Structures are given as C-alpha cells and as structure tokens.
Amino acid sequence: MASPRVRAFRSRAIYFVVAFFTAIGRRIPLRTGRLLGRGLGTFAYFVVGRQRKKALANLAIAFPDWSGSKRHKTIHAMFRHFGMSLFEIAWLPNLTPETRDRFTKFEGVDQMMQLIDEGRGFVIFTAHCGNWEWLSYTIGLWGRPLSVMQRERDEHGLNRFITELRARSGAKTIDRGSASSARDMIKAIRGGGMLAFVIDQNIRSESVKVPFFGTPAPTVIGPARLAVRTGAMGITGVCERLADGTLVSRFLEPFECAGGDPVEITARATREVEEQIRKAPEQWPWFHDRWKERPQWDAGATRSSDSLTSRERTRSATPRAGSDGSTRTP
C-alpha cells in the first residue's frame, strides 16, 4: 500500500491533470470535441479487451436473443458514446442558464419544479444513462436546491474535480459516509430541494434484489427508505443522447413515498431505469458487474416484481439508519 504522502501526491497529480485537460476541452467547439471523443471511444473498444468482453457478457444476460454481431455493434457504440461523454463533461462549464436550452431538451422538469416551489422535497432516482453529469449540471442550472449523493472514490483528486464541477451549476455534493451526510441529506429534502442517488450500481451498501432485465440484481435500498422516512416525493431522472446530439434531461411521473414500501419503490425506479436503457442500450455502461452477488450486503428482502410477504415488508421498512439512508450490517 502506498504511503499517505504518495497517495496525497497522486491525488493532487490526478486533479491537476484532469483540470488541465478540462481547461483545454472547454475551449474546443462541442461538435469537434464529440468527434474526438468518438475516435477515442473506438480506440478504447479495440484496446481494452477485458472490459469489452465483460460488457458483451453482461449484454448477453440482458438481451439473450440478440445475435453476436448485434451485441458487438452495441458495445462498440457504447465505447464511442462514453468517449463523447468524457469530452462533454470537460465542456460542461460553458453551459449557463441562458445557453443550456440550445443543447438540452427537458422533459417532465416543469412539473417537478412547480412542486418544489410549493415546498415539496424530492428524492431523485437516477442512473448512468446517457451523460449523467450533464443531467446533474443542467438541472442545477434551474436554480433550485440540488444535492447529489457521491460514493467516495479511491482517488481523492477525482472526487475534488467532480465536486467542483457540480458546484459550478449550483449542485452540492454529499460524500456518503461523511460525518455530516445524514444531516445534509435530510436538510436537502425537507428544505424543499432535490437529493439525487444513482441506483444502477452494485455497491457495498445494504441492498435488496429486484428484477433488472428479468434477473434479480442487488440494488441499494437506502434512497427509498430515506424517501419514505422524510415523506419526500420520488422521481426517476435519466439522460438520453439523441441522433442530432441533443441531450434529453428526462424526468418521469413523480410519486408519493410517505407510507410506501421501500422495496417496491426501489423496484419501480429500477424498472423505469431499465425501460430507458432498452430505448438506448448503447448509452449504459455494460462493463459494470450489475448482477454480482454480495451476500454480506443483502437486506434479506429478495423479491420478484409481483410478490413480497408482509414479514419482508416490516423488515424492509424498519431498519437501523446509516449515513446514506441505508442500513449497515453489524
């Protein structure tokens, strides 16, 4: 293991390297940068063989009826998409409240903003669809309180970069597990704002298995439990890249969470995320181990989409709270 001094140096180096390339990227026209990003993605597709194979295997779980050629074409497009997304993240500081609508189409945002103006707080269930940082940034530019829950990355320099980037749009980043995270989350919701959680990652946090492309997938339950406890409204928010380059920040129908079942809320949000992925499968990171088993984080509420016993409902609804709205195993 590297010494604290080496880790600190590496963190600073990563931050300054990323910041340097971002400073260059934001000075390149968006269209040119996307073309460069597509080229970078194509290069990565042929070079990063391990990740390509993993993505193809996961895509086969979701779409078992697809031909091999269709899967390869989709994963190739996925690499190009993420190459473009990397450039777009660098370019994001060019967006302002006055220019955002030139590059972004909004769906379902007006209704959410009206409810926020009436004092309602929202838990946003989101995913790595399209360009998720673009989604966060453009919603932050609407001028309402937005907080984003962030899993601590191994490289603190990258954490710093992402936090500062989001802050440019007015979005606050809350680090999961920090001393003030629980208080900050509750304040974000009860103050009539938005608190966003990414739920499509298989992480080390208490989870329940809900259907994802027909296969049970461990999914964090903390966001839904927090929404139920605080009486927040829930909403699923996703991003999609259109053929002309326009990015859609899309929010689905909001729903009440007070008195609800956290497992059912988690299943609903996951189902809505899946529907978006089916629309644009090349815009989701298939190299992620979405179905990986993590028995030590299983909340014991494994369920199908249409059944849940009353005992499981009681157990799911009355946990010991953790700093991210989840519970922890002893």
Q: Rounded CA gap, 69 and 47, in Å?
A: 19
Q: Is residue 201 part of a domain?
A: yes
* Residue 11 in tokens: 């963190």
Query: Quick check: 58 pLDDT over 90?
Result: yes
Q: Is residue 55 part of a domain?
A: no
Query: Quick check: 318 pLDDT over 70?
Result: no
Domain span at 258? 99-317
Query: Quick check: 81 pLDDT over 50?
Result: yes
How far from chain centre, in Å, is Cα 116? 21
Model confidence over 170-228: pLDDT tens digits? 999 988 777 778 888 999 998 789 999 999 988 777 889 999 999 999 999 999 999 99
Q: Rounded CA gap, 210 and 154, in Å?
A: 28
- Quick one: pLDDT at residue 208? 92
Triad 32, 155, 49: Cα angle to 5°: 60
Q: Comparing C-alpha atoms, which of 33, 24, 15 is closest to residue 131?
A: 33
- Quick one: pLDDT at residue 106? 97
Q: Are strands 122-126 and 104-107 parallel, antiparallel or unpaired?
A: unpaired
CB 135 within 8 A of CB 237: yes
- Quick one: pLDDT at residue 260? 96
Q: Rounded CA gap, 29 and 171, in Å?
A: 25
* Nearest-10 crossing angle of helices 262-279, 222-230: 120
CB 130 within 8 A of CB 238: yes
- Quick one: pLDDT at residue 159? 75
CB 83 within 8 A of CB 42: yes
Q: How many domains does the chain have?
A: 1
Burial class (CB in 10 A: 0-12, 13-18, 19+), 114: exposed
Question: How many Cα atoms sit within 13 Å of 290 on the Cβ side?
Answer: 27
Q: Which residue has the higher pLDDT, 48 or 323?
A: 48
Q: Which of 127-136, 148-157, 197-206, 232-241 has the lowest mean pLDDT?
A: 148-157
- Quick one: pLDDT at residue 161? 80
Residue 207 parent element (H or E): strand 207-212
* Residue 77 in tokens: 């497009």
Query: Quick check: 60 pLDDT over 50?
Result: yes
DSSP 8-state symbol, 141: T
- Quick one: pLDDT at residue 111? 96
- Quick one: pLDDT at residue 36? 93
Q: Is residue 282 part of a domain?
A: yes
- Quick one: pLDDT at residue 190? 85
pTM, entire model: 0.84
Query: Quick check: 156 pLDDT over 70?
Result: no
Q: Is residue 92 part of a domain?
A: no
CB 142 within 8 A of CB 168: no
Local structure of 222: helix, strand or coil: helix
Q: Rounded CA gap, 196 and 181, in Å?
A: 13
Task: pLDDT band for 326, please (50, 70, 90 cuts).
Answer: very low
Q: Rounded CA gap, 248 and 239, in Å?
A: 5
Q: Rounded CA gap, 80 and 306, in Å?
A: 37
Query: Quick check: 143 pLDDT over 90?
Result: yes
Q: Is residue 218 part of a domain?
A: yes
* Average per-residue pLDDT for the chain: 85
Q: Is residue 241 part of a domain?
A: yes
Query: Quick check: 59 pLDDT over 50?
Result: yes
Q: Is residue 233 part of a domain?
A: yes
Q: Is residue 187 part of a domain?
A: yes
